[in-house]
Amino acid sequence: MTPNRRALLVASVLLLAACSTGASPFAATTSTSRPEPTTTGAPTTSTTVETTTTSVAGDGSGVGDPYFPELGNPGFDIEHYLIDLAVDPVANTIEGEVAITATATGDLDAFHLDLLGLTVDRITVDDHPTAFSREGGELIVSAEPPIPSGEGFAVVVTYHGTPEPLTTIGFPLGWIDAGDITYVVSEPDAAHTWFPGNDHPGDKAAFTFRITVPEGLTAAANGSLVQTLPGGAVTTFVWEMPEPMATYLATVVIGDLDRVERPAPGGVLLRDYLPADLEGQLPSPLARVGEMLEFYAGIFGPSPFAEYGHAVVPGVPGALEDQTLCIFGREELEDYQAGPFDPSIEEIVAHELSHQWYGDSVTPATWNDIWLNEGFATFAQWLWVEHDLGRAAYDEEIANTYRLLDSASHPLPGDPGPSGEEMFHYSVYLRGGLTLHALRVAVGDDALFQILRTWADRYAYGNASTADFIALAEEVSGADLDALFDTWLYQEEMPPMP
């Protein structure tokens, strides 16, 4: 049986809408492209990206990510973003003031921020207005007087305009005006289309959002709603995300939305944001999230964040695991039709939840390690199936997945292609997930679950690489696992079914 292309896509990237129109690059990559012959015998990204002036070659325009070399900026680490936006959802414009606090990691007489499009009105460094220039996605700021290495400093960028989406992975990413609802989906590289910063997962920071919208509308963002400030014709919603967050996970959702709260399993506040026309009725695939949370907290360790929930919005192909607030396509929740090789919609809900541990709390150091997100969330989704439906259902998922991968060549999950275009290829999800199943078979359940839990705990709120994971798996299990990871992640030939 040959699965149709759409089924492949859905199984992998949790897409529906974009693929059926053929608009997604996944449509091209999944069926037609062949992987480059592998050259790697071992993981190549063993260290986190150092954001210092000395570690980065070239002009300081990026931190040298293998897929997005211009993103991020050397010479400083950001600790906190205050993102203050006044939003006109009808005109689709924002007036922004972003206050960044950072620490210099080298002597700085100038530094870059990532920002693409929009008009910059004014920048201050430590309250002094300063000169700046722009080159593509780089905002180049002078530091006058220079900032010595180790010093803290504050930058405030005032800007305005209409954020323009990018189509890096084949459908619009960034600030999306969907008519009645405005929302953000940025992974991997679109955060710098709506706010200035270090748009690379290696520089995580705490966030505060102050989102001002016309009266009657609601604004949700990451973290906890701490204040709602009425202001006559407008209302300001203040959200706090105290735990470090990668820029690609920052989100804002604006519209006529209802907030629906549910009992809090394990103390985690469950709150969803639904379009008002749903009249507070939770789409049924979201019904078991509390149970899923308890299950995952039991095996992965306590939830890394105090709150969780979904914002249901139109037009998202699949769902995106934004920290504490998953952005879920409404069409998926209401009309999902699973093909023979597709996960159920409930599995997708579980997949996204599991990213809170794997991806959001523990974040890849570089984008070519994306299997640490997607392979883990896929494996987590199979664990939910095992928990809910029994071991035979898990075994069937594993066998189907293996057959699917074995039937066609595909990019390697540990190194999915030379650019970012194939980073969400189904192989990153499925062969990445099978890598963890192979590990389970090799080391046994006790060691496997100890590895997953230690991974979530040791690198909580930080960054880690594939090499860090292999080292940890070897440390916990006492086994030599280089060959296992090498064949599953880096060698073209499919290893035998574990």
Partner from Zn ion, ligand TRP, none binding residue 349, C-beta < 5-8 Å depending on class: none
Does 253 help bind ligand TRP (rule: CB under 6 A)?
no
| For ligand TRP, the closer CB: 272 or 374 | 374
| For ligand TRP, the closer CB: 49 or 169 | 169
Does 332 help bind ligand TRP (rule: CB under 6 A)?
no
Options 31-39, 47-55, 293-301, 312-320: segment touching ligand TRP (CB under 6 A): 312-320
Partner from Zn ion, ligand TRP, none binding residue 430, C-beta < 5-8 Å depending on class: none
Single out the residue of 177, 203, 321, 369 in contact with ligand TRP (rule: CB under 6 A).
Answer: 321
Q: Provide the minimum distance between the beta carbon of 161 and ligand TRP in the complex, in angstroms, as a whole number.
A: 22
Single out the residue of 10, 14, 78, 333 in contact with ligand TRP (rule: CB under 6 A).
Answer: 14
Partner from ligand TRP, Zn ion, none binding residue 316, C-beta < 5-8 Å depending on class: ligand TRP
Please report, as ranges, the residues that interact with Zn ion according to CB under 5 A. Answer: 374, 377
Closest CA to 466 of 412, 404, 401, 406: 412
Does 320 help bind ligand TRP (rule: CB under 6 A)?
yes
Q: Provide the minimum distance between the beta carbon of 190 and ligand TRP in the complex, in angstroms, as a whole number.
A: 8
Site string for ligand TRP, 340-359 (x = CB under 6 A): ------------x-------
Q: With contacts defined by CB under 6 A, how many residues of the chain interact with ligand TRP? A: 13
Q: Please state the φ and ψ torsions of residue 320, each to the nearest 5 degrees.
A: -130, 135
Residue nearest to Zn ion according to CB distances in the complex? 377
Partner from Zn ion, ligand TRP, none binding residue 217, C-beta < 5-8 Å depending on class: none
Does 325 help bind ligand TRP (rule: CB under 6 A)?
no
Site string for ligand TRP, 400-429 (x = CB under 6 A): ------------------------x-----
Does 367 help bind ligand TRP (rule: CB under 6 A)?
no
| For ligand TRP, the closer CB: 84 or 352 | 352
Residues in the site for ligand TRP, rule: CB under 6 A?
13-14, 169, 173, 185, 187, 316, 318, 320-321, 352, 374, 424
